[in-house]
Amino acid sequence: MGPDKNRLIEVRKKKLREWMEKEGNPYWVKFSPDHSTQKIRDKYGNLKAGEGVDIEVRLGGRIVAQRGHGKAMFIDIRDGSGKIQAYARKDILKERYSLFKKLELGDIIGVKGKVFKTRTGELTIDVSEFFLLAKSLRPLPEKWHGLQDIELRYRKRYLDLLFNPEVKKTFLKRGAIIKCIRDFLDRRGYLEVETPMMQPVPGGATARPFRTHHYALDKDFYLRIAPELYLKKLVVGGLEKIYELNRNFRNEGMDRFHNPEFTMLEIYSAYSDYKEMMELSEKLICEVAKKVNGSLKINYQGSEIDLSPPWRRMTFKAALKEIGGLEVNYENEEALKEAASKAGLKVEGLRKDQILEHLLDKKVVPNLIQPTFILDYPEETCPLAKRKKDEPSLIERFEIFIGGEEIGNAYSELNDPIEQRERFLKAKAEDKSLDEDFLEAMEYGMPPTGGLGIGIDRLVMLLTNSSSIRDVILFPQMRPK
């Protein structure tokens, strides 16, 4: 912070002290608005120029513009729904007009007054009374609107929201998307549940966890990488249709599609399978898009995407062959490595499942712009999914791809406790820690179940045409300055 800004802050602090001497502490003042700017516009927007109403409104908001001097002043007040003009006159406010003139950009005030339209057609509040509710000690930045320093905007999201209406629209839409998801699932009889964020054994996905220490128990815990195993325990317990919409944490890289803290929706339905989850996910995303955007056709990063069902369905093998130009023998690991090397992938030190996933990501996924289900993955790619009965080297799993990115992942859940233990041991060859409590729960019997996970941040990116996950997370993780 430069010396000029320090000086301005000290000037504002002095003005605050002077105000407190005359009016008392503004931070203690109680003010209850009865209108928002949008409500005022909705009710009185049809007034003709020069007309007014004999009804007083109460509005609270932040001063974002000031005009005029002498015996009259105009200010613009912004609240959560928009901006409106207010008009203050010395002949109305009397001796308090001198106090009104001391208000500054950024101050949060409450005003009372009647609504009228100026001769130029501007809807305005004729101020009869005002209250300072919070003094802004820092002057608002003059050139924040349209600021190109994206990182600064992420760090100071509160200013980004104040000055960039499009940013606010993104997060209003995010809230609408989440509400729509809950409404969709609630109508279908799903129960929303919460499971632990701190877990003694990380599980449910393959990722590096964050570790923390519980001092009272003198034990390490892990921020969850996924809620899956706990949700399946609830299915064992008889909660047959459940979902959780909450945070996951993965101690890995950050880029335009990854943040270490992110929001996931996980859904589990007993007596179901991955085919039913396919239908559910298609209906869910289509309903959300229709309700929040008004159409199943969207523009995402320059691509026109049509979400109209039915979505394309391709097997993992067919996708690699037809889109990626790779005909891969899953069983022959050497042939698989050779194909991967020719595709430009460094295979040294990679497991078979990692090679397969990387081949899909590199050769196929960027081409999946229109909504596509890739299904029937090799068994190695997920230890929690049920094998296909007629092709036991494959699993009943699908992923959703839209706009060249993964949006969701689902499978028919493996409910054989003996095979589950074997698959865990095989997948954790280097790490023998198993979630014994989960395996014990499965031994009591878990019904056939379909499970689905959707990345909420990526879905919001898609439906708001946002290029980075940081654009749809209010406070994304940033590197230290």
The Cα–Cα gap between 193 and 299 comes to 34
Question: What number of CA atoms fall less than 13 Å from residue 331's CA on the CB side?
Answer: 3
Nearest CA among 99, 100, 109 for reference residue 134: 109
Q: Is the pLDDT of residue 148 over 70?
A: no
Across the range 149-170, mean pLDDT stands at 89
Nearest CA among 250, 245, 264, 255 for reference residue 206: 250
The Cα–Cα gap between 324 and 210 comes to 35
In the chain, % of residues over pLDDT 90: 81
Residue 2: predicted pLDDT? 61
Across the range 104-114, mean pLDDT stands at 96
Under the banding of pLDDT at 50, 70 and 90, the label for residue 434 is: confident
Is 399 annotated as contributing to ligand binding? yes
Is 406 annotated as contributing to ligand binding? yes
Q: Is the pLDDT of residue 375 over 80?
A: yes
Choice among 204-208, 305-309, 430-434, 476-480 with the minimum mean pLDDT: 430-434
CA dihedral 312, 318, 322, 324 (to 10 degrees): 100
Q: Is the pLDDT of residue 1 over 80?
A: no
Burial grade of 96 (CB within 10 A; 0-12, 13-18, 19 or more): middle
Strands (E) across 118-210 are located at 123-134, 191-192, 198-199
Across the range 179-195, mean pLDDT stands at 98
Q: What are the tens digits of pLDDT across the range 275-325? A: 999 999 999 999 999 999 999 999 999 999 999 999 999 999 999 999 999
Residue 147: predicted pLDDT? 65
> What's the mean pLDDT when you consider all of the chain?
93
The Cα–Cα gap between 372 and 25 comes to 60
Across the range 65-72, mean pLDDT stands at 88
Spell out the domains of the chain, with CATH numbers in brackets.
Answer: 3-140 (2.40.50.140), 160-311+370-471 (3.30.930.10)
The Cα–Cα gap between 90 and 93 comes to 5
Residue 330: predicted pLDDT? 76
DSSP 47: P
Q: What are the tens digits of pLDDT across the range 206-251? A: 889 999 999 999 999 999 999 999 999 999 999 999 999 999 999 9
Q: How far is CA 406 from CA 156, 278, 472, in A?
A: 29, 14, 16
Strands (E) across 135-207 are located at 191-192, 198-199
- Look up the pTM and report it: 0.92
